[in-house]
Amino acid sequence: MDEELTGVVLADARDKMDKAVAHTRTEFAGVRSGRASAGLVEHLRVEVYGSEVELRTVAGLSVPEARLLVISPYDKSTVNAIEKAIQASDLGLTPSNDGSVIRLSFPPLTEERRRDLVRVVRHKAEEGRVAIRNLRRAARHELEGLERDGDLSSDEVERVEKDLDKLTQEMVAAIDKLLAHKEQELLEI
């Protein structure tokens, strides 16, 4: 019985922590480096057909060159709406539109802009770490509740808390690894 309860708590914590790491990875993809990437715009919200949808649902995205992103709308009537969404975003890019496709040209980043983006990425990484620590705290409260109810012994709770700490360190290390990779990508000239 103890094994089942602790297994459920740990599995739930691992699942939520994995999602926090995946969210941080997605946040990093949205930070512009010197290269074109579909991840920068695929989640952009576009107003089409009377509702807001993600760009990736109304257009194909391709990267023919390192500094060029081509957006090919499935319906040509959505070109202007997509262009408007890109201009309204905080990407700082000016789309060029030939009536059927939109091209985004990525200029090289200045040194100052690279440093600003590194700060942004570090902040997003810290948000991910905080989310993981909050999930650890929630799992600990759950374990303490099970101990108070008499479902778990204090020795079992202590053992599981050690496993939980190890899991937390593993997930924080995963975010740190993603951060190091993104910083390297941003500082690359």
Distance CA 108, CA 89 (A): 19
Q: What are the C-alpha distances in Å from 159 to residues 73, 76, 146, 152, 154?
A: 54, 60, 14, 11, 9
Q: What average pLDDT does range 127-145 have in this prediction?
A: 94
- Comparing 180 with 78, the larger pLDDT belongs to 180
What percent of the chain has a predicted confidence (pLDDT) above 90?
Answer: 30
Closest residue by Cα to residue 92 from 102, 81, 79, 104: 104
Q: What average pLDDT does range 138-152 have in this prediction?
A: 88
Six-digit token string for 80: 């202007």
Residues in the chain: 189
Q: What are the C-alpha distances in Å from 21 to residues 6, 71, 132, 168?
A: 22, 28, 8, 11
Q: Which helix (H) or strand (E) holds 65?
A: strand 59-65
pLDDT of 20: 94
Six-digit token string for 173: 């290390």
Q: Are 186 and 112 in contact (CB under 8 A)?
A: no
pLDDT of 189: 62
Find tokens 């990525």 and name the residue.
106
pLDDT of 175: 95
pLDDT of 35: 72
At residue 136, φ and ψ (nearest 5 deg) are: -65, -45
> In this predicted structure, which of 29-38, 118-127, 175-184 has the lowest mean pLDDT?
29-38
Six-digit token string for 73: 């709308």
Domains and CATH numbers, the chain: 2-29+110-187 (1.10.132.20), 38-105 (3.30.1360.40)
Would the pTM of this model clear 0.75, i.e. be above it? Answer: no
pLDDT of 34: 67
Write out pLDDT tens, residues 29-52.
777 666 777 777 877 888 888 888
Is the pLDDT reported for residue 114 higher than 90?
A: no
pLDDT of 173: 96
Distance CA 150, CA 101 (A): 64
Six-digit token string for 175: 């975010």
